[in-house]
Chains A and B, each alone.
Chain A
Amino acid sequence: MLAIVGTVPAADFPLSHGTLAYTPAGLTLNDDHLEVQRGTPALMAAASCACEALGLGSPYGFLVGDIGHGKGSRMLYQYLAEHIAEFACKTMVFHYLQPIAHWHKRVLDAIDALPSRPRLIADAGFMYAAKMGGQAVAYDLFTPDIGELAFLADENAPHPLYTRGFILHESARAPELIARAYAHRNAAKHLFVKGQTDYVADQGGIIAAIDEPSEPAMEAIGGTGDTVTGIVAALIQAGYAVPEACAVAARANRQAGRLARPNPATSVKEIILHIPAALEEALLEKGE
């Protein structure tokens, strides 16, 4: 199964796990309705749409409430470290969690002990924790934006806030930042850099650059980076090789944006509605 791990912005949301159900009316986990604005619920909604379009079962969610105290994140880290062997995960996506390097290590140790290792994707806080802990290379895919790529490229920074000034966060510098992240072993096996141009890269350099269709307003819309991570996760779960999944997801997310005719005030919910049609178009364009 495809498992998605993250948080919701509510202090009292208990640690929960179960199969996700998404309809245009909303997203639910067990009987809990999840508001799809941005963050992990946006990733879950996008992944659910993409899974359905690809003929896959619904993703499985692991969620807890956390508004930045880190208490919920610690509970979820501990639960995964102790129980991950009870779930048959083929692909796992880790998302908004408080970045805590020693807890990240315990979860990764538990995954390493599994008889069959799932494909691992990290985004947001969990990606920060993986880099902070020096364990980036254990992952199949990181999905940073340009500010986060600069953080990966700075071998000393413990968080994007502390990225040194000479490592400029400019889209045009992405190829150089990618090379630097790999040189210091702070990148996953593959990188999908989200930006004006989306880059797919590995240790050998840039594999693909996708810049069409282009909707500049997408960068301002909270959750559009989360939706592309959800789509790529579904494609990897469906058996696509990571670079291929990234390229298709980039086109699908861009096309979903175009279909929504967005401006910087658009909600990501409006874009998610177009993911099934956009993914179909991206696969057709690829020749499938």
Chain B
Amino acid sequence: MAWFKRCTAVSAEVQAVDLGFLTFQNTSEVLRAQKVLSRAGWKIRVMGPPPEVRTGCDLVIEFPLMEELRIVKTLADAGVKPENVVPVASPLLKPVDLYTITDFPEHLMVRAANMKITVDRHSLVIVNISGGGCPDVPFLAAAMTGKHLSKAPQPKDIGHTLCAYALQLAYEEMLKRCSP
């Protein structure tokens, strides 16, 4: 019996790292989001929140964490905005807000977490995207490289994963730094 309990606990732990919670201001928002995501074919679960993310609303939605960007976009398109998005395994964690800036003579590079974007200082054309490990990174790089910073498709619109989210942060920081 002890062995069974241990195996069950390990299995639950391994799966929890793949998951995130969406929290909302009230229960009707939760139910609306559930409807939108279920219709879009996402595997989600409505459940009670852990103490760290309790905000008065007594329900959260559990979802596949790696696909956070796409899920939040699906909700936004339906006019639903979660109050917060957190990893199940560590609900107090927040996305990085530190950026590393590298100055090259003709180019500027911004890194957020594991993603880097580089633009030509004069033309503001995106010349390279590097880093990352999720499969939409090469797709995003192909879609954005060679385009003007203000005209390139944004990761939040065509990406799906947490790497795309990190690239969006780097992109926004670059946009801020390159704005007049």
Contacts and interface: CB of A to CB of B under 8 A. Distances in A.
29 contacts: A7-B135, A7-B138, A37-B141, A38-B138, A66-B135, A67-B139, A70-B64, A70-B67, A70-B160, A96-B135, A96-B137, A98-B161, A133-B17, A151-B113, A158-B87, A159-B65, A159-B162, A160-B114, A160-B133, A161-B95, A162-B96, A169-B100, A216-B104, A217-B104, A220-B104, A220-B130, A221-B130, A264-B106, A264-B118
A205 interface: no
Nearest to B17: A132
Interface in B102-152: 102, 104, 106-107, 109, 111, 113-116, 118, 120, 127-139, 141-142, 145
Interface of B: 13-15, 17-18, 64-67, 70, 87, 89-90, 93-98, 100, 102, 104, 106-107, 109, 111, 113-116, 118, 120, 127-139, 141-142, 145, 159-166
A239 interface: no
Nearest to B169: A161
A9 B18 contact: no
Interface in A97-122: 97-102, 105
Contacts, number: 193
A198 interface: no
Interface residues of A, number: 61
A153 B93 CA distance: 15
B166 A220 contact: no
B84 to A, nearest CB: 13
A198 B96 CA distance: 24
A69 B160 contact: yes
Interface in A135-165: 145, 147-148, 151, 156-165
A164 B127 CA distance: 29
Mostly helix, strand, loop or mixed at chain A's interface?
loop
Contacts of B145: 222
Given A69-B160, A158-B17, 12 more contacts: A38-B141, A68-B161, A70-B160, A96-B133, A102-B18, A125-B135, A134-B14, A161-B166, A162-B87, A165-B98, A221-B128, A224-B130
10 A-B pairs closest in CB distance: A68-B136, A68-B160, A124-B133, A9-B139, A265-B127, A39-B138, A160-B114, A66-B135, A147-B114, A222-B130
A98 to B, nearest CB: 6
Nearest to A162: B93
Q: Which of B15, B118, B132 has the most CB of A within 10 A?
A: B132
Q: Which of B13, B113, B118 has the most CB of A within 10 A?
A: B113
Mostly helix, strand, loop or mixed at chain B's interface?
mixed
Nearest to B99: A169
Interface in A199-218: 216-217
Q: Which of A73, A125, A216 has the most CB of B within 10 A?
A: A125
A16 interface: no
A243 interface: no
A198 B159 CA distance: 30
